[in-house]
Structures are given as C-alpha cells and as structure tokens.
Amino acid sequence: MKKLLFIYVILISTFLVYFTFYHFREVNTESWDQIDKGLQGEINEKYVMVTFLSGIDYWKNSFKGFEDAAQLLNVSVEYHGATQYDVHEVITVLEQVIAKKPAGIAITAMDPEALNVTINKAIEAGIPVVTFDAGAPKSNALSFLGTNNYNAGVTAAHKMADLLGNKGKVAVITLPHQLNHQQRYSGFRETLQKEYKDIEVVAMEDGKGDQIKSQMVTYELMKSYPDLSGIFVTEANGGIGVGNAIKELNQVSRVKIISFDTDKGTLDMVRDGVISATLAQGTWNMGYWSLQYLFHIQHNLGQPVLDWKEGDVPLLPVNVDTGISVVTKSNVDNYYAK
Amino acid sequence: MLEMNNLPIRYKLIIHFMIISILPSICLGILISWAVNNVISKQVNANTLQLIGNANKSLESYVSEIQNITYLISFNSDVKNFLYQGENQSTIDPNQMYDIQKFLQGFTTLHSEVAGILVLNSNNQYISNEMYARTSKKLTEEQWYKEAESSKGIFKLIGHTSGRNITTHYNYKDDEVISVVRAILDPDTQITKGVILIDLKLRVVAETLKDVRLGKSGFLMVIDNQGKSIYTPASPLVEGIQKQWFADQMSGDFSREIDGQSLEFIYRKSPFTDWTTVGVFSTDEAVSEVQEIRFYLISFIFLVSFLGVTASFYLAYSISRPILRLMHSMQTAESGDLTIRPMGIRLDEIGMLGRSFNAMLTQIVKLISLVEVKERQKKEAELRILHANIKPHFLYNTLDTIQWMARKNGAADVSEMVESLAKLFRIGLSNGQDAILLIDEVEHVISYLKIQQTRYKAKLNFDIQIDPAVTTEKLLLLKLILQPIVENAIYHGIKERRGPGHIQVSVTLEKEYVIIKIADDGLGMSKETLDSLNYQLSHTLNEIQQQSTTDDSDQEQIALRVNRMIGGYGIMNVHTRIVLSFGEGYGVSIDSQVGKGTIVTIIHPIIIDEEGAGRNGNTLETINRG
C-alpha cells in the first residue's frame, strides 16, 4: 500500500504544480490590460449635451470641450437639441434623451423655470444633470457651469462707457425671456445707472437670437433714436445682424457695438472695426467641465455623500464661473483658430 | 517481453489496468484539446470577422450619410448659383451667403458628427460656418481640391489631411477629423465648378470602434488604402504594426510577434470606404478559453488517473491475493500437510481452482488410506495363516516325540512317516517367515507327498524335476504355495481316478520368473468348471479391493472370506497371496482336460535371498514370537 500512497502523493503534487502554473498564467494575461489607464470610463457610457437652437455655432465650442473630455475619459458623447427657439421642443428632446437612460446630461436651460420638472425627473431616474451656459437655479440640477452673466453685463457697461466717453444713448438687443440674457442686461443697465449717469439706456429690444431679426430691430432703433451712439448685443448672431445694419447705414464710426461671443463672423467684424468689442465666454470650459462633473458623479468620485439625488450636500461645486474676457481689435487674433 | 513475463502477476495487472484506464483518457484529452483549440480559434476568427464587418457597416453608414449630405448641398439652388457664378463675380452677395450658411447649419444641426462643411467654387470663393482659410493662399490649389477634381464628381474619402490651408473655428485638429470631398461638375462640360468639403469627427468613428472589444485587451484600428492610419487606439503595440501586412487582400488573418507579444490580426476591407478595419488581439487571450478547457481536461485526467490507480490496485490485488493464498496452501500441502483446505466460498475461477485442489487433496488422502487398507489386509491374511499354523506347531513337537519313541521301539516305517510329518510341520511353520527358500518349499512338498504315498501306496507316484539353476541360487519362494495345489491334485485328481496316478512337479527359471508346474494325470476338469475357476482366479483380487473401498471398517468380513478360501479353495488362497505380494502378472493358472489331467502353473518372481532371511520376515517375526 506504500507504493499506492507514493503514487497518490506524486499525482496530487503534480496536479498542484500544474494548478499553480495555470493560475499564475491567468493572472499574467490579465496584467496586460492594465497599462496606461488612469481615470477611464466605458465606451458604452453615453453622456448627452442638450441645447436649444442646436445648429448655432455658439454650442459648437462647448460641444468641442465636451468631446475633448470624453476622449480623455474614454466615454461616448451625443449632441441633441431643439432646432428651434422653442422650450417645448427642448422638453421633448430632453424627455427623449432621458428615455435612453444616458450616463449624464448637460443641458443649457433655455427657460429658467420651464425645464425644472423634466430636469428633476431625470435626476429621479438616476441620471446626473448639470446645467451649463444658462442655468435653472430652482431645479435639482447638480451644478451650473457658465458665465456669471451679471458680471458680463457689468464688464460690458464699463467697456461701453469707455468707448462712449461716459455719455450718450445706448440700446440693448437681447433675449428678454432667457435668464442669462436678463442677467447680462441687468448688469449692464444697473452699472450704467449707478456709475455712468450720463449714459442712458433708451431701449431694450428682443433680437430673437437671429441675425436678420436683429438687423431689422437695429434699423427700427436707428429710426427711433437717430442719436444712438452705442448698442450692446447680448448674443453673437444678433451682433452680426447689428453690425451689418450699422455698416449698411454707414454709421460704423459713430455707433459703437459691443457684442457677445467669439464666432467667426463676430471676430471678423471686430477685426474690421465694425464691432468695437465682444465678450468672450469660456464656452469650451463649460463643455469640458460639464462632462468631467457628470463623469465624477456617475463614478462617485466627488465629495462622498450618501445619495447625490437628494441634493442636500453638494458633491461638486454648485456654481462655476467660467469667466469672461473682452475682445477688441488689438487682441482679436488670439481668438481665431490656429 | 521476457522480463515482463517474469513480473509478479499483480504488477502485470496493475500496469495493464493503468494503461487501459489512463492511456485512453490521456489520448482523449489530447484529442479534445486539439479539437477545441481548432474550433474555438475558428470561432474566434469568425466572430471577430463579423464584428469587423459590423464596424465596417457603421463606418460605411456614416460615410454614406456624409456622401448624401454632399449631394443634398449640391442640389440647393443657392449653392448652385454660388458655384456657377465662378469668374463672373468677385464678391459674394451677403444675403446669398447668409442663406447658404443657414442652409449648411441645418446639416450640422442634424449631424453632430460633422465638424464642418465648406463649399468652395472654382473662383476660390468659399462659404462655411465653421471653417476658413488660414492664409490668402488659394484653396483651389490645395491637395484635397485636386483629389476631388480628379475623382470627377465621385465622392472621395481623404482621411486625415495635414498641412491644409483650412482651419476649423472650434479647433478641430487634422487628426481629429476625417475629410470627405466631392467635386461638383457641370453636367454638360464636365468642368469642375466647385468642391464640397466635409470634415467628419473622428470621435464617432472611434466610439464605434472602441465599442467593439476583442477579448480583454484586443482593439480595432482602421487604415486607409494608402496604409495611413484613420484610427488607432492608444496602445503601446500600435507602433510595431506595419501597414503593408494588410495590403494584399480584402480580408484575412495572420499572427505576428510584436515586442515579444504574440498577436492575432484579422482584417477586412470595406469596398465602399476603401478602408481596412483591423482587429488586433493577443494570441494568449484567444487561447485562454482553450486553456480553461484544457485545465478542466487535465483535471479530469488527473481524476481518472487517481481512480484508475486505485481501481488498478484494487483489481490487481483482488485477483492476485486469492492466487497467492492458493499458492501458499499448495506449498503447505507440498510440505506434507494434507489437511489444509484453502478458500472459503468463492464462485469465481480461483474458487473453482481451490475446490479442485481441495478435491485433489481429498482424493490423495483417500488413496493413501486405500493403500493402508490393502497393506493391512495382506497382513491380516498372513496372520490367518499363522494362526492356522499354531496348531501344527504343537503337533510338530508332539510328532517329534513320537518319531523319537518309534525309533526307540524299532518301528522304522512309523519313524520315517512321523519324520516326514514332522518335517512337513517344521517347514510349514518356518519360524513364521513369509518367504522360505525354494529348496525348503520343495522338501516340504516331498514330505507331504511321502505321507500321502504311505497312505495311498502304489496308487500315487510322483517325481520332482528341478532346474539345476534353481538349486545353485538361493531363491526365495512365498511359503506354502505348492502343498495346497498338490493336495488338490491328489484329492480331486488322483484319488478320483482308476488305477495309479502320477504327479509331476517341475521348477524352471524363465526370464525373471520362477515357473512351477504341478501336473497330474487324474480325472481333470470339465470346461465349465475350469472356466469358472479361472474366472474366480482373475476376480478374487477385484473382489477384495471393492470390498475394501466400499466398506473400510468391515475387516471381519474379509478375514472370514479369506479364511473360507484357505479351507475350501487352496488354489485361490495361493493365487491371492501371490497377487497381493507381487501384484498382477503373477499368480496361478490352471489348464485341464477331462480324463487327461490338470496342469497348475505358478508364476512367481525371482527373489534371491541375500540376508539369509525371508522377505518381509521382520514384520511377521514379531507376531510369530507370541
């Protein structure tokens, strides 16, 4: 029986040797995959950016930031939006996006109130939502990344005063139903009222965010106030329309225009001197950090809280000012693509 | 082979059982692992090829979508006007430009994967929402424009462009986009009126390709027909991959080693995009499933070996142990102990072998006891004769006294007769010896005949003829074998006959036999009597044997029977003694004819007395002393 025992021992030890070898080998193959990963998501993790007037150039820079962050984190992104300036369409699009259960939604709130219900619905469904560019403060959105629009208005007011020599009549062409534009307007108006008594805001018009519409509004304004010496346009398309109108009216040297954003048309007009100054927003940063924030929430990387959906303790900075800078003829070249 | 034959049977059995149980399972294991390897690698390749095919399909759908956009753009009447205005107008009408930009914006609204659209006419005027020339250098002299021109209105994928004089306002770099161009031709003159350039974001291609995971660490990459990379993931292995490997065929697969890593390559070319999608994954990983199956197989083989070894040992011992036990029993029996009885109750062949061995032992014991019985019977017979001789012993002493008295009184004839009688008894007793000298035996019969002659006077004549050779040798003869026959000859032959009769006794040597013939010319026997007598002679021995085997214990019966033979049938007695002493082939035979006489022939072996004592004398002597 000793021989049998001996054979058993040999058999079992051979098997154990083989087993360890096999196991070691398995571990070895796994290690190949671990190279160079860092903070990485899954490619089937889909983050969605939702905008309104989705075709306009303004969003493209934000979305570029969104895409750049996605590439870095190895996740997928999608871009959706209402093609029209229509809050109902935005809600529809947002509902559709929620139905697909994405990993996160970055939305720009076209209306500070109207989207609250839908945003809260997404949060309840477990989808992290951040707002960018235009916020919805009363919703449960986790963070807002965007320009401090009131400050932007203040900056515009100071620049306008500087351009006009602290006196004259100015008009504002804006989107009066949109919170960010309201804030820009009030920052602009209140600063002028407080600090530059000789500058009078004579009109506030709705440019509908459209080039042609704004151009038409400008013609009307110039007719109503022939002595108008400054126009502040709170968004880019309108800025180009205003520029075109002033150019057509041959009032370029007399009427100073302050526009918003740095799309190609605006920059060209700054370079040509039609638009005196434009305010550059950190749009790329909005997109980039929106995705980073969403990714952090999705992967529970923020401040440790029990349930981010409750919203009692913020995981992430709630309000992020992406900054503003004034673009004039002297520094416009820096804003063209390289 | 010889050495194999010399191995103990249990080792042979163990080796055979192991070979039978383990070898096939090992062969089976190898076969299965080989087959699984083949099947799985085939399946992996087929699956990968299918994944690549699907990836190609999505790429094709993106590209064909872009192609459709170029057509839709060229159908637009504003765009057509812009393209055809060519040399006629040096500037672009702002309203027309606005309309076209709005129109183009529609496409980017719907297709977020489009990074930019640029429409360029042959007059180096362009309209775009996103793109513009970096310098004033003519765009119509750019490489992409010429490629579009040479494709003659056919959609053309350029892949990554580099160093072109176009920039995207949103900073999409050259390696982040794939450029697609299509020239718009005048249908009549086939002159290029302009080119539509669309930049497709590489991101969507990357997302499609990244979504396809080949095993744990495999990836997909796309190269164009020039061998330039469209999309390659950030993997350290990409460096070593050479594009010309995929140049030859539409699809295929091969293995290469890169940085010490064995990699599998599977590729398929899309005829529409003219791009080749390549799947790269580690060979080790491809076989990891095989490894797993192989692991289970080897575990199974170990289990089989384990069970096989156990079963082999058990079987071998279960067969060899009873054989060994039987062998030990046989050895014990061989050394003399016949009482050993191996095995209990086994029903297999070894049990049968044991039972046969047992039966054989029983038979041997029985035969030994039979021999003992025969020996005892012989002794019994001797003893009977001795007993019969005790009376003559006393008589002999008395007769001696009478002879002595007769001679003293001068009665010579009485003295002579008494002397003969005395000699008869003396020789008949012969110290109880089994065998006596032939000469003594002859003298004994002469004494007897003399006595009978005295009685029958002239009616009985006799002569004795002895081979001279017989007298020189000291031949031994079984005692008292002549007298009963001579007695028979006198009483049944001579006495019954008319007139004087003659008895002749002759002793001769023939080969190794002593032949003694007692012939008389008496009445003789009828054929029936002779036959029955001869039959009895040839069957006496069998009768005794049968009785002894069938009924060992009944010694008395046999003694009686033998006794009766002595009293009634002298010849039988003589014959039986000779046969019992020397075996078949010796004994008494009778020949007779009615009216002519009878010849009784005794065949006796030649036994030469060397010690001066009779054969078997010792045993009989002890009894005789009493």
CB-facing half-sphere around the CA of B539: CA atoms within 13 A: 7
Instruction: Give residue B47's identity as a one-letter amino acid code.
Output: N
The secondary element (H helix, E strand) that includes residue B180 is: strand B177-185
Using a pLDDT cut of 90, give the percent of chain B over it: 3
Pairwise CB contact (< 8 Å): B291 & A264: no
Residue B395: per-residue pLDDT: 73
**Burial label, B1 (beta-carbon count in 10 A; 0-12, 13-18, 19+):** exposed
For B68-81, what is the mean pLDDT?
Answer: 89
A vs B: CB pairs below 8 A: 91
Chain B contact for A33, CB < 8 A?
Answer: yes
Give the three-class secondary structure for B344.
coil
Pairwise pLDDT comparison (A34 vs B251), residue with the higher score? B251
User: Which residue shows structure tokens 């753009």?
Assistant: B73
Q: Which residue has the higher pLDDT, B61 or B497?
A: B61
pLDDT digits (tens, 9 = 90+) for A185-222: 999 999 999 999 899 999 999 988 888 899 999 999 99
Q: Which of B112, B114, B216, B299 to mutate to test the interface with A (most CBs of A within 10 A)?
A: B112
- Tokens 């920039």 correspond to B167
Q: Tens digits of per-residue pLDDT, A9-25?
A: 888 898 889 888 877 76
pLDDT at B625: 33
pLDDT tens digit string along A215-271? 999 999 999 999 999 999 998 889 999 999 999 999 888 999 999 988 888 998 999
Nearest to A67 by CA among B232, B206, B62: B206
Instruction: Render pLDDT for B564-621 as a digit per residue (tens, 0 to 9).
Output: 433 346 787 788 888 888 877 888 888 888 888 889 899 888 888 766 544 444 433 3
Cβ contact, residue pair A35, B236, below 8 Å: yes
Taking the C-alpha atoms of residue A150 and residue A156, their distance in angstroms, rounded to an integer, is 10
Query: CA A130, CA A140: separation in Å to the nearest integer?
Result: 9
pTM: 0.63
* Backbone torsion region of residue B124, taken as left when φ is above 0, otherwise alpha when ψ lies between -120 and 50, otherwise beta: left
Contact between B105 and A56 using a beta-carbon 8 Å cutoff: yes
**pLDDT tens string A309-326:** 666 677 788 888 898 999
Task: Choose the most confident range, by mean pLDDT, from A271-285, B166-180, B296-310, B339-353.
Answer: A271-285
Report the pLDDT value the prediction gives residue A150, as an integer from 0 to 100. Answer: 92
Place of tokens 């396809």: B212
Chain A residue with Cα closest to B169: A337
- Which of A11, A61, A77 lies at the smallest CB-CB distance from B302? A11
- With beta carbons under 8 A apart, name residues in chain B contacting A32: 216-217, 261, 282
Sequence-distant (6+) residues with CB within 8 A of B97 are B127
**A97-116 average pLDDT score:** 90
User: Are the beta carbons of B94 and A22 separated by less than 8 Å?
Assistant: no
B108–A11 C-beta distance less than 8 A: no
In whole angstroms, give the CA distance from residue B143 to residue B580: 137
Q: Which of the residues A43, A56, A261, A291 would you substitute to probe the B interface, choosing the one with the greatest number of B C-beta atoms within 10 Å?
A: A43
Among residues B431, B434, B462, B432, the alpha carbon closest in space to that of B446 is found at B462
CA B77, B82, B87, B89 torsion-angle sign? positive
Provide, as residue numbers in chain A, all residues whose Cβ is less than 8 Å from the Cβ of B93.
Answer: none
Among B268, B217, B269, residue whose Cα is nearest residue B238 = B217
**What SS3 class is residue A101?**
coil
- Which positions in chain A touch B203 (Cβ < 8 Å)? 67, 70-71, 77
Q: How far is CA B127 from CA B91, B97, B120, in A?
A: 11, 7, 7
- Report how far residue B468's alpha carbon sits from residue B502's, in angstroms, rounded to the nearest whole number: 22
**Would you state the pLDDT for residue A55?**
81
Helix (H, G, I), strand (E, B) or coil at B461: strand
- In degrees, rounded to 5, the angle at the alpha carbon of residue A77 between the alpha carbons of residues B68 and A305 is 165
Q: What is the mean pLDDT of residues B60-72?
A: 90
Token digits of residue B612: 């001066």
Which chain B residue lies closest to A51 (C-alpha atoms)? Answer: B109
**Angstroms from A314 CA to nearest CA on chain B:** 31
Q: Taking a C-beta distance cutoff of 8 angstroms, is the pair B113, B177 a contact?
A: no
- Rounded CA-CA distance B391/A67 in Å is 149
In this predicted structure, what is the pLDDT of residue A5?
85
* A78 in contact with chain B, both atoms CB, cutoff 8 A: yes
- Do A290 and A264 form a contact (C-beta atoms < 8 A)? no
- Report the C-alpha gap between A88 and A303 in whole angstroms: 35
Q: How far apart are CA B361 and CA B355, in angstroms?
A: 10
- Nearest CB neighbour to B109, from listed A43, A55, A64: A55
User: Could you tell me the two tokens for B388?
Assistant: 């019969």
Distances (CA, A) of B621 to B376, B395, B624: 16, 20, 5
More confident residue, A35 or B358: B358
Average confidence score pLDDT of chain A: 87
Q: For B161-165, which contacts have Cβ atoms below 8 Å and span 24 or more sequence positions?
A: B165/B133, B165/B134, B165/B135, B165/B137, B165/B139
Q: Which of residues 37-66 of A touch B (CB under 8 A)?
A: 43-44, 54-57, 60-61, 63-64
d(CA B54, CA B279): 12
pLDDT score of B541: 61
Distance CA B9, CA B2 (A): 13
Q: Which of A64, A81, A211 sits opposite B170 (nearest CB)?
A: A64
Does B54 reach chain A within 8 Å, measured CB to CB? no
How far is residue A5 from each of residues A331, B12, B290, B298, measured CA to CA in Å?
90, 19, 33, 21
Which of A39-48, A99-108, B131-140, B228-237 reaches the highest mean pLDDT?
A99-108
Strand pairing partners for A257? A231
* Separation in Å, CA of A108 to nearest CA in chain B: 16
* Residues A191, B344: Cα–Cα separation, whole Å: 121
Q: What pLDDT is stored for residue B393 in this prediction?
A: 67
> Of A102-106, B150-154, B403-407, B484-488, where does the model show the most confidence?
A102-106
Angle between helices B94-110 and B9-75 (to 10 degrees): 160
Q: Are the C-beta atoms of A191 and A170 separated by less than 8 Å?
A: no
Confidence of residue B85 (pLDDT cuts 50, 70, 90): confident
Backbone angles phi, psi at B112, to 5 degrees: -70, -15
Confidence check: pLDDT of B540 > 70: no
Pick from A4, A67, A83: which is nearest to B313 by CB? A4
How close is the nearest chain B Cα to the Cα of A326, in Å? Answer: 18
Q: Is the pLDDT of residue B549 over 60?
A: no
**How confident is the model over B309-335, as pLDDT tens digits?**
888 888 888 888 888 888 888 888 888
**Of the candidates B269, B293, B287, B350, the residue with the CA atom closest to the CA atom of residue B317:** B350
pLDDT on residue B392: 61
Q: Nearest-CA distance from B128 to chain A in Å?
A: 10
β-bridge partners, A46: A76
How far apart (Å, rounded) are the C-alpha atoms in residues B261 and A229?
Answer: 72
Q: What is the pLDDT of residue B390?
A: 59
